[in-house]
Amino acid sequence: MNKIFKMALLLGPFFLLSSFFISFGAKAGDLGTTGIIDIPSARMMKDGYLRATVSKQDTVSVYSLNYQATPWFETTFRYVGFEDFFYYDRSYEAKIRLLEESNYLPQIAIGIRDVAGTGVYGSEYIVGSKKYGPLDVTLGVGWGRLAGKGDFDNPLKNISDRFEERSAVTGQGGEFSFDNFFSGKNAGIFGGLTYAVPNYPLKILAEYNPDEYNFQVGRGSKSPDTPYSFGLEWELFEDLHLAANYKHNDEFGFKISASLNTKQTSPKYPERFYKSTLDMKKNEFPEGYNPSSWYDRLLLDMSKAGLILMSADYEPEGEEINLEVSNKDYRSWPDAIGVALRLADLHLPQNFKSIAITVNEEGYRLHTLETIRPMNIHNDSVETFVNQLDILLPRQIKKPFRRTNFVKFRIPVDIALQNRLQLMDPDEPLRYQLYAQLKSTIPLPANFTIRSSIAVDLENNFDTIIRESDSVLPRVRSEMKKYYQQGETGVESFFLAYQNSINKITFIRLEAGIFEEMFSGIGGEVLFSKPQSRFATGASLHWAKKRDYDRQFDHLDYEAVTGFVSAYWATPLYNFDAALHVGQYLAEDKGATFELRRTFDNGWKVGVWATQTDVSAEDFGEGSFDKGLYFKVPLNALFGRDTRNNYQSRLRTIQRDGGARLEGFSGELWHSLRGARYDTLSNNKSRMKP
C-alpha cells in the first residue's frame, strides 16, 4: 500500500464530506487563518464553517485547522515544521470581528496569533478590510512578529509599562502569555490587496509583511530580502482552493485548502416505513408477531422504519394513548417523532383521538409529546400542528397495558473502517492505524445492555515510534507507544451497562467491564436535570484498573479512583453547551475541566476543553496542561439516509498524564442526551409533522 493511498484513506472522508456543502468567499492564508498570504485580514468565514489547510514553502510546512465558532469569532490551530532545522511548533490563533463592513466603513477585527504556544509565532494585530468592487484592501497594525522593525512607538505604553517589554519565546508551550499580548517597544504596519479576476475563478494576491523572521534567522535561516510577497489563488471547486506564491523575493510556496459547512441544514431522507401489507393467510408475518393485533403491526412497521415501540399505555375504550418509543436509526429525534406519529395514525383503532409519544433515549424517559391525532387535525398546515403540540414532563409508565417482549437473544454486529492517528510527534508528525471495528450492542431485560468493540488491525506505522514516556506522574496515558505497538489488534471495550430514569429529573448509568483501550473498572454516573431547565448537575465515580498493553483481558498493577462533580449550562448563545467538572483524575491529580461545545441541528458538534490540576506545568511536561479540540461528525451524507452513526475525534497538541479522564465515562451523560433535550425538540417542532 503506497503512501498516497494511505493518505487518501486517512484524509479522504474529510474531502468527501466537503463535497456536500457550499463554499464561502473568505479564503485561508498560508497560516490557516483567513487572510492574504501570511498576513491576516479582517475577513471571516461564514458561521459554522470548518476548513483544513496545508501550505508548503522552501523553509516551512504548515498544517492548520480553523473553525468559525460564531459569526464574529474565528479560531485556528496550526502545526508548523521548520525545514532548515529540526523543529515543530504548535499554536492557536483567535480573531474577533469588532465591526462589520458597511457602505462607508471597513470591516475591523482584532486577533492574537499565538494564544497558548511557545511564542514562536507570537504577534497580535488590529486589522481592517474594505472592498471596492473586485478589489479587497487590507491594512493593519501589528505587534510582535507583525511589527517587524517597528514603524512607531507602541501606543499602549502610555497606558501601562507592562506593554513595553516582550519575551521572544515563552517556554515549552501551552500557557497563556498574557504579559506578551500587544506588548513590545514598537508596533508596525502591514497590509495587502486581493483582486478577484472578473469571469474567472482566480484571485491575485499581494501583501506587505514586515516580519523579520527572527526565530528562523537565529537558527541559521536566511533573513527575508523584501517584505513584499505575491500570489495567485484558484478556486478549483466550490470547496477546494489552490494557491501559489512567491515570498520575499527568495522562495516559492503553494497551498491547498478544503472546507465544509457544519451548520448546513440536514435534509429529510426518503422515509423507510410502510403500512403493513403482509398477507396473514400466507403467514408472511415474522414469527412472534400477531397479524390481527394493531400493536404488533405497529411494532413491525416501527421496526422497519428504524424505531422501537417499547410499550403502550391506554384504556381499551379510552380516547388517549401513550406510546413509549426508542430511536434506533434517526439522527434527529424530531424526525423520529414525526415518523412515529404517522405510523401510529395508520394503525391505531379509531377510538383513540389523541396520541402521546414518550421519548426513550437509551433507556432514559426524557419527555412526553402530546398531540391531537393527525387524522383529526382538519387544517393540515405546519403552523396548526405546531400550535397544538405540547412537550410535557415524561410519563413514567410502570405497568403499561402492552409491552414489547424482547426475548430473542441476538448479537447484532456493526462493522466499520476506522482510523487512529498520532499527531505532532517531532520524530514523525503523522502516524496512523487503519483498522476494522466490530461493534455490538446487546439489549437485555430490565434496562441492561452489553456493549463491546473489537479492533482488527489492517495497516499501521506505529512501529516507528521510538519515544519513551518521560512522565514523572503515574503513566496513565503517556505509554501510548506500548498500547499501539503491542495491542494493534485487541478489545477496545466490553462492559455491562445499566441505564434508567429514577424519576422525572434523575438519571443514572452504571457500568462494569473494559471501558476503553487503557482502563477497565466499575462505576457510574448520576444526572439531575429538569426537562425544561437550561441547568443541570451531576456526579460520576469510578474505580479504574490499567489494562495490559496487548489490549486483551489482563491488567497491570496500577489502579485509581476517579470521580467528578459536574455542572452544566445549555447557553442561549448559538447552541453552546458549557460544562465544568471538578474532581480527581486517573493520575490522582485534582483539579477542574472546562468544556464548551456547539451543537448544530444537523448533528455536527464542535468543542474545546481545558484542564487545570494541581500538577505544575513543569511536572506536566510539554504543553503545560491538557487541552484540545472535540469533533462529532454525523455520517448521514456518506450513507445517503438517516443514521445515528457518527465519527468522533479528540485532537490534542500532545497526550500527557495530567488531567486524564476515562474516555466517555466522566460527565458524558448530559452530553449524550442532548439530541432529545427540551430545547432541541422545542426548536424543531415543525420537523415532527407527520
Among residues 238, 261, 284, the one where a domain terminates is 261
Among candidate residues 261, 285, 307, the one where a domain is terminated: 261
**Is 288 within the bounds of a domain?**
no
| Over residues 395-412, mean pLDDT | 73
State how far the Cα of 636 lies from the Cα of 642, in Å rounded to an integer.
Answer: 6
* Least confident segment among 259-273, 276-290, 572-586, 661-675: 276-290
Q: Is the residue at 13 inside a domain? A: no
CA-closest candidate to residue 663, choices 468, 515, 545, 524: 515
pLDDT for 188-233, tens place per residue?
999 999 999 999 999 999 999 999 998 888 888 888 999 999 999 9
Instruction: Provide the 10 A C-beta neighbour count for residue 87.
Output: 15
pLDDT of residue 280: 59
Amino acid identity, position 11: L
Q: For the chain, give the mean pLDDT.
A: 87
Whether 685 is in a domain gets the answer: no
* Position 16 in a domain: no
Q: Is the pLDDT of residue 7 over 80?
A: no
pLDDT digits (tens, 9 = 90+) for 421-439: 777 666 677 788 899 999 9
Same-domain check for residues 310 and 192: no
Q: Which three cell numbers stand for residue 570?
A: 445549555
Q: Residue 566: which of 544, 583, 551 has the closest Cα? A: 583
Between 175 and 383, the more confident residue is 383
Confidence of residue 101 (pLDDT cuts 50, 70, 90): very high
In 209-250 the beta strands, taken as DSSP E runs, fall at: 228-237, 240-247
d(CA 38, CA 44): 15
Residue 626 placed within a domain: yes
Q: What local confidence, expressed as pLDDT, does residue 4 receive? A: 40
Give the tens place of pLDDT for each residue, 545-604.
Answer: 999 999 999 999 999 999 999 999 999 999 999 999 999 999 999 999 999 999 988 888
Question: Are residues 204 and 311 located together in one domain of the fold?
Answer: no
Q: What is the pLDDT of residue 417?
A: 80
Q: Grade residue 395 by pLDDT with cuts at 50, 70 and 90.
A: confident
Beta strands in 343-447 (DSSP E): 354-361, 364-372, 390-392, 402-403, 413-425, 428-443
User: Do the domain assignments include residue 12?
Assistant: no
Q: End of a domain among 405, 439, 457?
A: 405
Q: What is the pLDDT of residue 418?
A: 82
Residues 324 and 230 in one domain: no
Percent of the chain with pLDDT over 90: 55
What are residue 508's DSSP bridge partners? 500, 526
Q: What is the DSSP letter of 291?
A: T
Please give the share of the chain, as a percent, with pLDDT higher than 70: 90
Residue 121 is part of a domain; what is its CATH number?
2.40.160.40
* pLDDT digit string, tens, across residues 17-56: 433 333 335 678 889 999 999 999 999 999 999 999 999 9
Q: What is the pLDDT of residue 76?
A: 93
One domain for residues 511 and 388? no
**Can you tell me the mean pLDDT for 76-80?**
90
CB 230 within 8 A of CB 206: yes
Name the residue among 191, 188, 133 with its Cα closest to residue 155. 188
What does the pLDDT look like over 338-376, one tens digit per residue?
999 999 998 999 999 999 999 999 889 999 999 999 888
Is 646 contained in some domain? yes
* Claim to verify: residue 356 and residue 423 sit in the same structural domain: no
Residue 545: how many CB atoms within 10 A of its CB? 16
Report the SS3 class of residue 46: coil
pLDDT tens-place string over residues 444-500:
888 899 999 999 999 998 888 888 888 999 999 999 889 999 999 999 999 999 999
pLDDT for 408: 52
What is the C-alpha separation between 27 and 235, in angstroms, rounded? 10
* Length reported for the chain: 690
The separation between CA 8 and the C-alpha centre of its own chain, rounded to angstroms, equals 21
Q: What is the pLDDT of residue 273?
A: 61
The letter for the amino acid at 239 is: D
CB burial of residue 635 (10 Å; 0-12, 13-18, 19+): middle
- Write the CB contacts of 616 (distance below 8 Å, at least 6 apart in sequence): none
Q: How far apart are CA 673 and CA 364, in angstroms?
A: 9
- Report the DSSP beta bridge partners of residue 610: 594, 627
What is the mean pLDDT of the segment spanning 78-99?
88
Same domain, 196 and 330: no
Q: The whole model's pTM is what?
A: 0.87
Q: SS in 3 state form for 557-616?
A: EEEEEEEEEEEEEECCCCCEEEEEEEEECCCCCEEEEEEEEEECCCCCEEEEEEEEECCC
Do 352 and 302 fall within a single domain? yes
Give 646's pLDDT tier (boundaries 50, 70, 90).
Answer: confident
DSSP designation for 248: T
What does the pLDDT average to over 642-668? 85
Residue 606 pLDDT > 80, yes or no?
yes
Does residue 118 surpass a pLDDT of 60?
yes
Strand ranges (E), 106-165? 107-112, 123-132, 135-144, 152-153
> Do 395 and 425 belong to one domain?
no
Q: Give mean pLDDT, residues 231-247.
A: 91
Q: What's the pLDDT at 431?
A: 82
Residue 575's contacts (CB-CB under 8 Å, 6 or more residues apart) are 598, 599, 600
Eight-class DSSP state of 265: P
Half-sphere exposure of 593 (CA within 13 A, CB side): 24
- 342 and 374 both lie in a single domain: yes
SS3 assignment, position 217: helix
Question: How does DSSP assign 471-535, residue by residue?
Answer: -SS--SSTTHHHHHHH-SSEEEEEEEEEEEESSSSEEEEEEEEE-SSSEEEEEEEEEEE-TT-SE
Per residue in 548-564, pLDDT (tens digit) is 999 999 999 999 999 99
For residue 537, the SS3 value is strand
C-alpha cell at 591: 483539579
Residue 686 domain-assigned (yes or no): no
Do 447 and 400 fall within a single domain? no
Do 163 and 246 share a domain, yes or no? yes
pLDDT at 618: 87
pLDDT at 556: 97
**Same domain? 558 vs 641:** yes
Domain carrying residue 242: 21-261
What are 130's three cell numbers?
474594505
Q: How many domains does the chain have?
A: 3
